[in-house]
């Protein structure tokens, strides 16, 4: 009820501010999922600033949303409900990385380009219209009706996302996402110079010994905090069994990470608070995950991946479900015990050919020019 009142207030102020004319070079950025430098919106803004200095930007970030939800900070709350609707009403371009529910209660002006740069590069799990129910499903559909450009990597994902976001297929553009440009650029720099600046930075930041190989363990967050204690038990078992030359870097959801801090685990480095996920990807030698969309970014590095699905049956029954047959779709071996994970590491058996095939199927435009193509859409 309180949230609904907030949405209505935002929409009412926007309606009043529609009296002001739209400014051609004003860009409104909704970054409520990821406001870091490596997010799709941030990377596109960086490219826009290189090319068109005349653009100027306004933002709604995670910090704004947290302040409003907790009613913390009078200025921030008033800014959200008065200044932000005004800025939105005057913007000709809207860049977003998440669903912004106040949009369900308003209709943006004609010729305003609303570009959805979804924070996930791809998906294994079902989401959006395929999982939400009731009022939330209705609000998301209404909010998404404002989208004019839904950016994806390939046509197959485009057809899926058209259904997930409830938008017309003609509004889906399979031109590639800024994140893939960024990872590809870092990868090519490493191959050319032979030095991983990301690895140097992360190892120094977390005081990791240079003779250690870093394994990034990034499991997905279970809805309703499903099996968080079990997850931490798996981390502990993995750390105990790993060969001595490896260190386990865990990147967990904040809710689970809070529990992890209560346990001091040897041979484990807690990376959960680090917002630069791309730097962690580039600094690591291997990924262990389960159902997370991080695989769509990590596969570009062509480094080993292991899928540690210890709770597959439970997650399938109580979780969101999958779009593909999980075991045949993911680009790496699927295991259910920490011993199996360690056995694969010791045997050096990672199925790298599946990673290359996965890249081929999901990234037809992996050329480092996704930002250029998106900017052409903005300026056309």
Q: Are residues 166 and 222 in the same domain?
A: no
Q: Are residues 130 and 207 in the same domain?
A: no
pLDDT in tens, 155-170: 999 999 999 999 999 9
pLDDT for 294 beyond 60: yes
pLDDT for 260 beyond 60: no
Sheet of strand 213-217: strand arrangement:
268-270, 246-250, 213-217, 286-289, 305-308, 334-335
pLDDT in tens, 344-375: 999 988 888 899 999 999 999 899 999 999 99
Taking each helix axis from N to C terminus, what angle separates 370-379 and 40-51, rounded to the nearest 10 degrees? 70
Average pLDDT value for residue range 224-243: 76
Cα separation, 93 vs 25, in Å, equals 8
Tokens at 261, concatenated: 């801090």
Q: Domain tally for the chain?
A: 2
Q: Are residues 354 and 373 in the same domain?
A: no
Give 222's pLDDT tier (boundaries 50, 70, 90).
low
Backbone angles phi, psi at 49, to 5 degrees: -65, -30
The three-state secondary structure class of 217 is strand
Q: Are residues 106 and 40 in the same domain?
A: yes
Q: Are residues 210 and 328 in the same domain?
A: yes
Q: Are residues 232 and 162 in the same domain?
A: no
Residue 347: give the domain boundaries.
Answer: 183-362
pTM of the entire predicted model: 0.91
Lowest average pLDDT, out of 20-24, 63-67, 90-94, 164-168, goes to 63-67
Q: Are residues 130 and 203 in the same domain?
A: no
| Planar angle of CA 63, 217, 293, nearest 5 degrees | 65
Q: Are residues 13 and 130 in the same domain?
A: yes
pLDDT for 261 beyond 60: no
Q: Are residues 171 and 224 in the same domain?
A: no
pLDDT for 257 beyond 70: no
Cα separation, 165 vs 261, in Å, equals 36
Q: Are residues 207 and 348 in the same domain?
A: yes
CATH number of the domain within which 107 lies: 3.40.50.11820
Cα separation, 301 vs 307, in Å, equals 16
Cα separation, 313 vs 333, in Å, equals 17
Q: Are residues 163 and 219 in the same domain?
A: no
CATH number of the domain within which 194 lies: 3.40.50.12580
């Amino acid at each position: 009820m309180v949230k609904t009142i907030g949405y209505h207030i935002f929409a009412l102020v926007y309606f009043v501010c529609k009296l002001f004319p739209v400014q051609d070079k004003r860009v409104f950025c909704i970054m409520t999922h990821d406001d870091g430098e490596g997010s799709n919106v941030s990377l596109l803004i960086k490219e826009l600033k290189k090319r068109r200095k005349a653009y100027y930007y306004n933002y709604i970030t995670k910090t704004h949303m947290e302040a409003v939800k907790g009613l913390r900070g009078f200025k921030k709350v008033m800014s959200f409900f008065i200044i932000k609707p005004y800025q939105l009403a005057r913007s000709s371009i809207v860049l977003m990385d998440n669903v912004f529910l106040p949009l369900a209660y308003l209709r943006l002006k004609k010729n305003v380009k609303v570009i959805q740069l979804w924070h996930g590069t791809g998906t294994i799990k079902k989401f959006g219209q395929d999982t939400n129910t009731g009022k939330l499903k209705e609000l998301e559909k209404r909010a998404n009706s404002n989208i004019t450009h839904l950016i994806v990597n390939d046509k197959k994902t485009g057809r899926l996302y058209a259904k997930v976001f409830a938008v017309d297929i003609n509004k889906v553009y399979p031109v590639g996402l800024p994140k893939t440009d960024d990872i590809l650029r870092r990868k090519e720099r490493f191959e050319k110079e032979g030095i991983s600046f990301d690895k140097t930075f992360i190892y120094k930041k977390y005081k990791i010994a240079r003779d250690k190989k870093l394994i990034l363990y990034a499991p997905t967050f279970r809805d309703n905090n499903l099996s968080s204690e079990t997850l931490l038990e798996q981390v502990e078992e993995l750390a105990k069994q790993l060969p001595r030359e490896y260190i386990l870097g865990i990147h967990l959801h904040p809710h689970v990470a809070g529990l992890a801090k209560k346990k001091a685990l040897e041979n484990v480095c807690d990376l959960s608070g680090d917002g630069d996920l791309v730097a962690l990807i580039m600094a690591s030698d291997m990924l262990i995950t389960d159902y997370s969309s991080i695989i769509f970014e990590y596969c570009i590095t062509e480094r080993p991946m292991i899928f540690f699905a210890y709770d597959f049956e439970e997650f399938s029954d109580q979780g969101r479900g999958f779009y593909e047959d999980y075991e045949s779709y993911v680009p790496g071996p699927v295991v259910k015990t920490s011993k199996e994970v360690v056995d694969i590491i010791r045997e050096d058996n990672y199925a790298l050919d599946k990673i290359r095939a996965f890249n081929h199927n999901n990234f037809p435009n992996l050329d480092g020019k996704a930002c250029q193509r998106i900017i052409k859409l903005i300026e056309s």
